[in-house]
A and B are shown apart, each in its own frame.
Chain A
Amino acid sequence: MLARLVPAEAMSAIAERALAVGRGGAHDTRFRLLTLGAALVVVAIFAGVMASLIIGALPAMRQFGWSFLYTEAWNPVTEKFGALASVYGTLVTSLLAMLVAVPVGIGIAIFLTEICPRALRRPIGIAIELLAGIPSIIYGIWGLFIFAPWFQEHVQTALVDGLADVPYLQDFFGGPPYGIGIFTAAMILSIMVLPFISAVTRDVFETVPHVLKEAAYGLGCTTWEVMWRVVLPFARSGVVGGAMLALGRALGETMAVTFVIGNAHHIQKSIFAPGTTISATIANEFTEAVGDLYLSALIEMGLILFFITFIVLASAQLMLRALERRAGSAA
């Protein structure tokens, strides 16, 4: 019936268009599936990391059970392995690093948003962010050859001598000044994660509505009071999220720490003493590990590290996501 109304050549043109639209549709589907496949690869990598770590760690898990987590012994010869010294080193270096990096990072963000002359803001901001771009192995070699000897000669010796007779403190700052050790590693970590904290903090500070700050200034607040009572409370979840992100980095940092931590599988009271972290142990011993149990113990440490960083990073993300949504709905 259509054929009677429409001339034949027009009919074929319509058919061709319909075919072209159909081809476009088929092409659309293929392209969408292609991008979906790539997204699935990302998920597959994540699942693969988890699965391979768990499977690799199984022999050590069977052998040591939960005692792996609270045993300090690390003896490849008798094949007695415990992760406690490494886990302790990982947590202590990261927490010490955060103690330094969080206040300093927030200070930098305050400087950049409130004090710095406008012309200098961008260059200084970029310079601080360059710290984040320097690869960790550079921090490592610098820490080993430059920072540790300097620290040993000028700071550590003075601290050890000065605190030698002070009760309690002498335990934490005592021992021979090697230069390398837990404290040195923590200092280098704090420099490394500084830019993460200051960059995120500055970005959240900039989302604080100007009206709030102007109102506080209008009441006669000083700059510090505005920052401490208005800006920081408003930006709290963002700042905490940024700090968690930095903590995640610090926990997993390998090369910078491996150079300067000293690789000692003991827990000592003094924070100047050599220690080790999970990542440093893996980096140092993995290729030299003989025996399936030794390898498996190292992989189980990797699993513990992945577990800890996963929790930290996931909570950082949840906080920053919530913030993004709030900023999005406010805009």
Chain B
Amino acid sequence: MSSAIYLRRRLWNGFFLALSVLAAGFGLIWLGFILGALFYNGFAAIAPKLFYEMTPPPGEDGGLANAILGSVMMSTIAVAVGTPLGLFAGTYLAEYGRYRRFAFFVRFVNDILLSAPSIVTGLFVYEMIVVKMGHFSAWAGAASLTVIVIPVVVRTTENMLLLVPNGLREAAAALGAPQSFIIRAVTWRAARAGIVTGVLLAIARISGETAPLLFTALNNQFWSTDPNAPMASLPAVIFQFAMSPYADWHRLAWAGALLITATVLTLSIIARVLQPKRSQ
């Protein structure tokens, strides 16, 4: 009688543990499928002219040079604007705000922005910039990416600054350093690797961001360095080309997808290497 109970419990145990192994296999298989398809289709389309020819009309040969330039330009502007803002806001939360009610509020709002649908922030930039300027532009595209960069940098900066031991701050304060000096010369320096990680993660996040660019930077078939005009970007071009019925465009879309994924994976691996070990 009791051995039947033991057997049943053991069987259930084996059954559910097997299920959880299957679950892990399920996750890994999809990762394998996605990366496999990406490399298989992407490598076939990778050629040097991707980097110096413009996006072609259907049926012609071409590259992705204008889209790559657009992505790099808009991401650079977004990171250049978003990083200092995020760094200061994160510093406020970790060093000045901490337990103030206002800081809790900012944290709450920031975490909402961190996970809010990017298409909604795109609508915000459309209303604020595109409508006011009267036309689509790379400035608007960069602004929508900035809105995505800021919360990422705020979150990681705060987390990393909180990992800095208070003893360091107290030692510097005991030497008579003003608080602003302590923050810049001691805590920022101690948390530097972690803060850089946050910026890298933010770049990884925006390099594949598509939705808000569709109605801020729009797209551009030609080489353009004018931030006041519509600008192509890799994700927007992938969207346009993949949804089209032309085989040439599909190949370019795969090549672009491989470029983006390679960038994102490289950035996240570097970020992981840099990331300081959490104190357990």
Q: What residues make up the interface of A, taking CB atoms closer than 8 Å to B?
A: 24-25, 27-28, 30-32, 34-39, 41-43, 45-46, 48-49, 52-53, 55-56, 103-108, 110-112, 114-116, 124, 126-128, 130-131, 133-142, 144-146, 191, 194-195, 198, 222-225, 227-228, 245, 248-249, 251-255, 258-259, 279, 282-283, 286-287, 299, 302, 305-306, 309-310, 313-314, 317
Contacts and interface: CB of A to CB of B under 8 A. Distances in A.
A248 B120 CA distance: 13
Interface string B24-38: 101110110110011
A27 B92 CA distance: 15
Given A35-B89, A36-B92, A313-B115, A224 B24 contact: no
A245 B111 CA distance: 10
Contact of B210 (A52, A136, A142, A306): A136
Interface stretch (B14-22, B45-53, B54-62, B190-198): B14-22
A262 B123 CA distance: 22
A194 B180 contact: no
A66 B160 CA distance: 46
B264 A35 contact: no
B17 A223 contact: yes
What 5 pairs across the A-B complex have the smallest Cβ distances?
A: A135-B208, A252-B117, A107-B23, A38-B88, A31-B180
A137 B112 contact: no
Given A137-B257, A223-B13, A27 B180 contact: yes
Contacts of B126: 286
8 contacts: A27-B181, A39-B102, A115-B17, A138-B260, A141-B242, A141-B257, A225-B9, A286-B123
A111 B17 CA distance: 8
A137 B110 CA distance: 24
A318 B13 CA distance: 34
B110 A42 contact: yes
Interface of A is mostly: helix
A283 B23 contact: no
Contacts of B179: 28, 31-32
A254 B210 contact: yes
Interface of B: 9-10, 12-13, 16-17, 19-24, 26-28, 30-31, 33-34, 37-38, 41, 84-89, 91-93, 95-97, 102-103, 105-106, 108-113, 115-121, 123-124, 126-128, 147, 150-151, 154, 178-181, 183-184, 204, 207-211, 214-215, 218, 235, 238-239, 242-243, 250, 253-254, 257, 260-261, 264-265, 268, 272
Nearest to B253: A141
A283 B113 contact: no
A32 B108 CA distance: 21
B173 to A, nearest CB: 12
B127 A254 contact: no
B9 A42 contact: no
B242 A108 contact: no
A29 to B, nearest CB: 9
B202 to A, nearest CB: 12
A109 to B, nearest CB: 8
Given A32-B96, A145-B250, A137 B239 contact: yes
Given A28-B180, A43-B109, A279-B119, A194 B27 contact: yes
Contacts of B113: 42, 45-46, 49
A141 B260 CA distance: 12
A108 B115 contact: no
B92 A35 contact: yes
- Chain B CB within 10 A, most for which of A31, A35, A39, A198: A39
Given A107-B23, A134-B34, A39 B93 contact: yes
A133 B264 contact: yes
B30, B117, B126, B204 interface centre (most CB from chain A within 10 Å): B117
